[in-house]
Amino acid sequence: MGDPSERVLVYRQDAQLVEAAGSFLSDALARGGAAIVLAGAEHVRALQDWVSLCGSDLQAAAEEDRYHAFAIEELLRSLAPGASTAPALGAQLEATLAQVPSGIAPVHVFGEIARELRIPGGGGAKVSFAELARQLRGKRPISLLCARHEDLPADQACARQAGADVLLEAPPFPAPIEDGDGAVVSWAVLPPAPAACRVARRLARSAFAGEAGADAIDSAELVVSELAGNAVRHARSTFQAEVSVRNGSLRLAVTDAKPLPEGWSGFPIAREHGLGLVAAVAEDWAVEPLAGGKVVWAELARDGEAR
C-alpha cells in the first residue's frame, strides 16, 4: 500500500490542478495548519485566488508563518551558476518547513512537477518530489500532494509512488474548444463562491491595461460578472474565467463543469438582467456544449460600443 500522506495528481486541464491543490491547501489552513506551495508562477497566483475565495486569510496566515508560496521560475533564477537544482529546492523547502511554528498541524505541501523541473535543459531534470517528501518527512510530519501534467513523464521515484492507492483522481472539468485565433490575456480558476465574481471583474479590467475608456471597462465588467454569476448560481461547479483578444475584439468566456440539459434549446432571456444584459451589450455571444460541461462567451468591441 502507498503512503496515504503522499498523493499524486495527474491532470490535463489547469482547472483540475487548481481545484485539487486548492482544496488540499484550504483544508490545512481551515484546520489551523500550514500550507507550503511550490509551483509555476501562474499556478501560484491561481491557487492564491482559489484558497482566498474558500475563506482563508492568506495575509494573516503568512504573517503567522502558516502560508508560504514559491514560484519555480524565481527559485531557478536565484540559483548560482552551475548549482544543482534538487539540493537547492530541498534546502529551500527544509528552511521553509523550519519556519512553521512547532505544534502547527497539519502541514500540507503542494509541489508542481513543472516542465522546468523535468525537461533536460530546464535546470532541474533530476528533481523528484517523492525524494523531497522523504527528506522533509525526516524533519516533521507532512502531507504531500504533487501534480504533473499528463504530457510530462514521471521519474522513477514518482512512478514507484503512483500506485492506484496513491493516485488522486483529477476533478472533472471539460476540455476547451481549440481556438487558434485568440490570444489569452488573463485567466482564473474559481470556486462557486459569490466573491468569485469580483475576481472575474478584476480580470476583465486588467485586460484593457489603461487603453480603454470607462464605458468599455464597465461593459466588460458587467458581462463577465453576469457570466461568472451564472456559473456560481446555476452550475455550482468550479469554473474558469478567461479573457482573450480575438479578431480585434475582447472575448470573455466562462467554462464550467455542468453539462447542458438533454434536449436543451436555449436559456430564457430577459433584457433587463442576466444573459439579456449580455446580449444587449455584446457584439456576439453564445452558449456552447462541451464534453462534461459548457462554455458561455461574449465578444465586446475594444471601445465598448456594441455593433
What is the secondary structure of 37-53 as a DSSP string? EEE-HHHHHHHHHHHHH
Res 115: pLDDT: 75
Res 152: pLDDT: 81
Q: pLDDT higher for 104 or 181?
A: 104
Cell 433587463 locates to 272
Q: Could you read off the pLDDT of 26-77 as tens digits, one per residue?
A: 999 999 999 999 999 999 999 999 999 999 999 999 999 999 999 999 988 8
- What average pLDDT does this structure show over 151-173? 71
DSSP string, 100-135: SPTT---EEEEEE--GGGTSTTSS-TT--HHHHHHH
Does the bond joining 153 to the residue before it have cis omega, within 30 degrees of 0? no
Q: What band does 307 get if pLDDT is binned at 50, 70 and 90?
A: very low
For the beta carbon of residue 179, count every other beta carbon within 10 angstroms: 13
Q: pLDDT higher for 259 or 81?
A: 259
How is residue 42 written as a grid cell? 501562474
In the chain, where the domains are located: 6-168, 182-300
Q: Could you read off the pLDDT of 19-32 as tens digits, one per residue?
A: 999 999 999 999 99
Res 2: pLDDT: 41
Least confident of 123-127, 222-226, 250-254, 266-270: 123-127
281 Cβ contact list (under 8 Å, min separation 6)? 219, 222, 223, 298, 300, 306
Q: Could you read off the pLDDT of 129-138 as tens digits, one per residue?
A: 777 888 888 8
Q: How far apart are CA 61 and CA 58, in angstroms?
A: 5
- What average pLDDT does this structure show over 158-186? 75
Helix (H, G, I), strand (E, B) or coil at 23: helix
Q: Examine the pLDDT at 118 and tell me if it is beyond 80.
A: no
- Of 71, 42, 46, residue with least CA distance to 191: 46
Q: Examine the pLDDT at 170 and tell me if it is beyond 80.
A: yes
CA distances from 147 to 10, 12, 15, 143, 185 (A): 6, 10, 12, 13, 25
User: What CATH number does domain 6-168 carry, 2.60.40, 3.40.50, 3.30.1330, 2.60.120?
Assistant: 3.40.50
Give me the amino acid identity at 263.
Answer: G
Q: What band does 297 get if pLDDT is binned at 50, 70 and 90?
A: very high
178 Cβ contact list (under 8 Å, min separation 6)? none
Q: What band does 153 get if pLDDT is binned at 50, 70 and 90?
A: confident
Q: How far apart are CA 144 and CA 136, in angstroms?
A: 10
Q: How far apart are CA 285 and CA 223, in angstroms?
A: 10
- Of 68, 129, 62, residue with least CA distance to 97: 68
Least confident of 30-34, 89-93, 97-101, 219-223: 89-93
Q: What band does 87 get if pLDDT is binned at 50, 70 and 90?
A: confident
How is residue 267 written as a grid cell? 436559456
CATH T-level topology, domain 182-300: Heat Shock Protein 90 (3.30.565)
Give the pairing of strands 6-11 and 167-168: parallel
- What average pLDDT does this structure show over 292-301? 93
Q: How far apart are CA 42 and CA 251, in angstroms?
A: 20
% of the chain residues with pLDDT over 90: 54
How is residue 237 written as a grid cell? 461547479
Q: What band does 106 get if pLDDT is binned at 50, 70 and 90?
A: very high
User: Backbone phi, then psi, for 174, in 5-degree steps?
Assistant: -75, 150
Is 263:238 a contact under the CB 8 Å cutoff? no
Res 3: pLDDT: 47
